[in-house]
Amino acid sequence: MQFVLVSAANANDLMLNKSFYYCVQPRQDYLFSKYRGKDDLVLTWFEVTSGLCQQVTMDRKGKRSKLATLKRFKPVTRASYERRGKGWAFRDGQPDIMSIVDVYRFVEDQVAHSIFEVSIFCHAWEGGPVIVDSYDDRHYKDASGKTVWIRDEARDPDDKDGRTRDFEPVNRNLAKFQAAFNPEGAIRVWGCNHTDRDVDLFKRLFLHKEYRRTGMKDSQALVLHLPSKYDSEFTTRGLPVTKGRLACTFGELRHYIEREFNSCYNAKAARGAGVKAYGGAPGNGSDVGGKGGFPMYIVATPGHNLQIIEFYKKYLGVKFDVASFAEFAP
């Protein structure tokens, strides 16, 4: 039985503190305790900041091996980033730094049905887990220094982060990738899915005088007033908004949110791997500090996060785990 844990670089802080590093040990201990005695256990850890891919095993009697280094990548440091505008950006042309692709390739190379979990501890958004906070700008420079533009759904080689296109056939050997997972296995993205656009939409829906937490008809007419800066985003995603004004039925709004749920990285990962995935539902935010084997959790305290979870349960039938991460079906 194999488990793969990934701790991303905390690119929100260029001192690269170890907030995600510290998520690995409690999850490892939880998994080894849960499956002890059932089989020989193998846990592989991709630690992005240090650039180390390491592995530890536990036999059926509970004896653990020493942590062995399988591969060394270039560490992520402050020098991995450059000034861009008023902020910082991950520099292009750093092939020796660990990528989410290295995790995918590792999974593809494993024995069939051996992977029971791939967990990624990170910041995240609807587009995927943030490994180093790189850019998918659809071009890169080849060995000769010539700029190459990417015209299809292939990944940008300069990009290290997870993307929804990762599970397109051009990027994955899907047959091998799916075969590696045990049917009882899962992918877990422990970060947020806190897209401002959808958070604002939920907040205004919940404050609407016609909204009912316990039951609404799809035919119910609604008018919501949203920040106009989201007009084009909503409209291109199938929810026409003009100057911040949205006039629709509750059913149209519900179907929009359902599309958001089914088109985010977590949903694409579940379908790409052929197993369940767990991650934030669109609009939900997570934090470090969970208990036991769940070192990150959705902040489901009273407020919009809890209301969003209730909405998904009531109106879309979504299931959530004990840390309030949504279940995405394969």
Strands 221-225 and 245-249: antiparallel
Quick one: pLDDT at residue 85?
Answer: 86
Distance of CA 172 to the CA centre of its chain: 17
The answer to whether 277 and 269 have CB atoms below 8 angstroms apart is: yes
The 10s digit of each residue's pLDDT in 6-64 is 999 987 776 677 789 999 999 999 999 999 999 999 999 999 999 999 999 999 999 99
Quick one: pLDDT at residue 130?
Answer: 97
Quick one: pLDDT at residue 160?
Answer: 98
The answer to whether 239 and 253 have CB atoms below 8 angstroms apart is: yes
- Choose among 284, 280, 283: nearest CA to 266: 280
What's the sign of the alpha-carbon dihedral 194, 288, 164, 276? negative
pTM of full prediction above 0.85: yes
The 10s digit of each residue's pLDDT in 264-286 is 999 999 999 999 999 999 999 99
Which residue blocks in the chain are alpha helix, DSSP H?
21-35, 100-108, 174-180, 196-207, 231-236, 250-263, 265-273, 304-311
Q: Backbone phi, then psi, for 261, in 5-degree steps?
A: -60, -45
Q: How far apart are CA 253 and CA 278, in angstroms?
A: 24
Quick one: pLDDT at residue 12?
Answer: 76
**By CB neighbour count within 10 A (0-12 exposed, 13-18 middle, 19+ buried), where does 16 fall?**
buried
- Choose among 57, 29, 23: nearest CA to 42: 57
Quick one: pLDDT at residue 303?
Answer: 65
The 3-state DSSP class for residue 262 equals: helix
What residue has token string 């809890």? 306
Quick one: pLDDT at residue 301?
Answer: 64
Q: Backbone phi, then psi, for 139, in 5-degree steps?
A: -155, 160
Quick one: pLDDT at residue 302?
Answer: 62
Q: How far apart are CA 254 and CA 183, in angstroms?
A: 31
The answer to whether 112 and 274 have CB atoms below 8 angstroms apart is: no
According to DSSP, the residues that pair with 7 across neighbouring strands are 47, 121
Q: Which residues are within 8 A (CB) of 209 and not within 5 positions of it... i.e. 6 or more apart?
A: none
166 DSSP assignment: G
Amino acid at 1: M
The series of mean pLDDT values per 10 residues for the chain, 330 residues long, is 96 78 96 96 97 97 96 96 89 96 98 98 96 94 93 96 97 96 98 93 94 93 96 95 96 97 98 98 92 89 81 97 96
